[in-house]
Amino acid sequence: DRPRRIVLKWRHELRPELTAEGYARCSIELEPQDGAVKLTISHTIERTDSKLIEAVSGGWPRILSNLKSLLETDQIILS
């Protein structure tokens, strides 16, 4: 659904146990909402009890926080 949706397919290559799970799909959607833009990220894999999804999910809050800082102040906070 261009230009509102980006879909990425990728595989974790640094940890063999996560590489073995195969490819994950990350969908990024942008929607106008009340004079702003709503960002929705959906990260999925065709495997129940995925360790990959568990591992990467913890990073999304930091990534989105840095994106917010960049958009508001033109700087990111590295932690």
**pLDDT tens-place string over residues 13-31:** 999 999 999 999 999 999 9
For residue 2, pLDDT over 80 is answered with no
**pLDDT of amino acid 1:** 64
Give me the pLDDT at residue 24, please: 95
CB 40 within 8 Å of CB 20: no
pLDDT > 70? residue 79? no
Helix (H) or strand (E) holding 64: helix 60-73
Spatial separation of the C-alpha atoms in residues 29 and 11, rounded to whole Å: 20
Q: What letter does residue 53 receive in the DSSP assignment?
A: H
User: Residue 58 has what pLDDT?
Assistant: 83
